[in-house]
Amino acid sequence: MALDALHGEIVGCRRCPRLVAWREQVAREKVARFRDEPYWGRPAPGFGDPDARILLVGLAPAAHGANRTGRVFTGDASGDFLWSALHAVGLADRSSSRRADDGLTLHGVRVAAAVRCAPPANKPTIDERNACAPFLARELTILDTVRVIVALGEFAWNAVLRTLAGTGEAVPRPRPRFGHGTEVAIGDRILIGSYHPSQQNTFTGKLTAPMFAVVLARARSLAGLTGEVIACPLCQTYLQGRSRRLR
């Protein structure tokens, strides 16, 4: 119920005039390849298991991804990469998802964004970042089963550190710097950094599927998720014999 209430507030939020104007303009004008599809044109709330032990935090919805489909990481190349990797390590029930109503189910994982509206050029202002921050803080408070937070990119990393510090957690000083694979224990949670699965990173090879699967497998292990052995189609050599499916 608390999550439902939070979702309702997020979806109805119009706190940031520039982002409200942008998300609605994108939804009106569309892009040629999606011209016949309805656009969501509103904030994208978190998605996934309400009893998650792992929370993945991204930057913000993509203009023609979540801003179109209404679900984080759904309908764009970043999402294709993310769902495939989550499925490979047994945390999602399918390897691709392009629509919000396709029944995708995450096991032990939830996905959210630091900023819930699509920003122009993927760059929210500091004021917009700060305006949206309370939503992440509340989501983390509600999700009291989360033990591992995976920050997808430096923006999310810093947003999570600020959020945890703001909720009274003992965040180390100086604040730990973002790095792919960096881990920091904060209270009873562990924060892990990963390069964001953006096209810019995945197309250039900065983030490869095996690199991402390793981070997710590590998060799963730290979160204490166990089950049957599964062989990862992305990075067989790393995961075979160690990787476990939740259920």
Two structure tokens written together for 13: 């939020």
- Choice between 81 and 135, CB closer to ligand SF4: 135
Query: Closest distance between ligand SF4 and the C-beta of residue 36, in Å?
Result: 26
Segment interacting with ligand SF4 (CB under 6 A) among 7-15, 96-104, 151-159, 219-227:
7-15
Does 223 help bind ligand SF4 (rule: CB under 6 A)?
no
Does 123 help bind ligand SF4 (rule: CB under 6 A)?
no
Helix (H) or strand (E) holding 36: none
Query: Closest distance between ligand SF4 and the C-beta of residue 178, in Å?
Result: 21
Query: Closest distance between ligand SF4 and the C-beta of residue 2, in Å?
Result: 17
Q: Which of 58, 67, 83, 81 is nearest to 22 (CA)?
A: 67
Could you tell me if residue 122 is left (phi over 0), alpha (psi between -120 and 50 degrees) or otherwise beta? left
**Separation between Cα atoms, residue 238 and residue 217, nearest integer Å:** 10
User: Reduced to 3 states, what is the DSSP secondary structure of residue 242?
Assistant: coil
User: Reduced to 3 states, what is the DSSP secondary structure of residue 210?
Assistant: helix
Does 41 help bind ligand SF4 (rule: CB under 6 A)?
no
Q: How many CB atoms lie within 10 A of CB 27?
A: 18
Does 137 help bind ligand SF4 (rule: CB under 6 A)?
no
- Choice between 117 and 156, CB closer to ligand SF4: 117
Two structure tokens written together for 114: 């630091």
Contact by Cβ (8 Å): 87, 233: no
Does 139 help bind ligand SF4 (rule: CB under 6 A)?
no
**Separation between Cα atoms, residue 27 and residue 20, nearest integer Å:** 11
Does 15 help bind ligand SF4 (rule: CB under 6 A)?
yes
Query: Closest distance between ligand SF4 and the C-beta of residue 125, in Å?
Result: 10
Q: Which of 26, 131, 149, 191 binds ligand SF4 (CB under 6 A)?
A: 131
Q: Which residues bind ligand SF4 (CB under 6 A)?
A: 10, 13-16, 19-20, 43, 115-117, 128, 131-132
